[in-house]
């Protein structure tokens, strides 16, 4: 009787294990087919079967993003992050992607930077952070990240576009610097012109003052008349 009971328990365990694997496998198939509406059903079941499966959570998070369920994507990524181990860079990079799409540039950059701290060779995190820095107007830092991304992923399909963007940013930066130098030079020229005008006006006023003082001094020097007035 005991042996029979044990056998039943083992069969039930194997059945549940196969069921869980089936949920993950089917969810993964739909995920790879870019069918998030079907994938989410099986991936949620797989997550319920094994909440600590990092790959399931990553797939599920991406599917949530595709379906516009960003809050749920953030929740699932944050939940699995402490258990992610060597996939922590993937999880934090995905968090960066979610926040970037939501327009929260500061949080996006923070998570991309965290992904890089987990894995300094994680190329996509450099690309994501470069994009956030372009949005924030931090152009020089963005160029550094783009260049690092291309070093890590030299065969990237985005290489031509990134190189064009880098060239454009550098050209605009050079133009801005030239405008700044010209503006500074113009400001110096105008300042010198103003000073020359002020000096000229000041000299002219001083000349008037000196002349006035001279005339005033002449009228004050009254000669004394000696002799008597004779009235006829």
**88-127 confidence digits (pLDDT tens):** 999 999 999 999 999 999 999 999 999 999 999 999 999 9
**153-184 confidence digits (pLDDT tens):** 999 999 999 999 999 988 887 887 778 887 88
Instruction: Name the one residue in this structure whose structure tokens are 């009228």.
Output: 219
Give SS3 for 34.
coil
C-beta separation of 132 from 108 below 8 A = yes
Q: Measured between alpha carbons, how far is 154 from 133 in angstroms, rounded to an integer? A: 21
Name all domains of the chain by residue range, CATH numbers in brackets. 116-194 (1.25.40)
Supply the pTM of this predicted model. Answer: 0.69
C-beta separation of 60 from 45 below 8 A = no
C-beta separation of 164 from 134 below 8 A = no
Q: Measured between alpha carbons, how far is 219 from 145 in angstroms, rounded to an integer? A: 83
């Amino acid at each position: 009787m005991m042996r029979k009971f044990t056998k039943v328990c083992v069969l039930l365990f194997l059945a549940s294990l196969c069921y869980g694997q089936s949920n993950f496998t089917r969810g993964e198939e739909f995920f790879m087919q870019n069918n998030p509406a079907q994938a989410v059903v099986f991936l949620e079941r797989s997550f319920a079967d094994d909440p600590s499966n990092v790959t399931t959570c990553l797939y599920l998070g991406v599917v949530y993003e595709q379906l516009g369920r960003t809050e749920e994507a953030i929740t699932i990524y944050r939940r699995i992050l402490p258990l992610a181990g060597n996939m922590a860079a993937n999880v934090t990079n995905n968090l960066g992607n979610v926040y970037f799409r939501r327009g929260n540039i500061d949080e996006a950059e923070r998570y991309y930077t965290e992904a890089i701290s987990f894995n300094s060779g994680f190329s996509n995190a450099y690309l994501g952070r470069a994009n956030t820095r372009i949005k924030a107007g931090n152009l020089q830092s963005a160029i550094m990240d783009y260049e690092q991304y291309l070093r890590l992923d030299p065969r990237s399909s985005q290489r031509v576009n990134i190189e064009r963007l880098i060239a454009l940013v550098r050209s605009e930066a050079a133009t801005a610097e030239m405008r700044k130098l010209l503006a500074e030079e113009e400001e110096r020229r105008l300042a010198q012109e103003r000073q020359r005008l002020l000096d000229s006006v000041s000299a002219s006023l001083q000349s008037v003052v000196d002349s006035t003082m001279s005339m005033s001094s002449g009228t004050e020097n009254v000669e004394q008349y000696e002799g008597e007035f004779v009235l006829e």
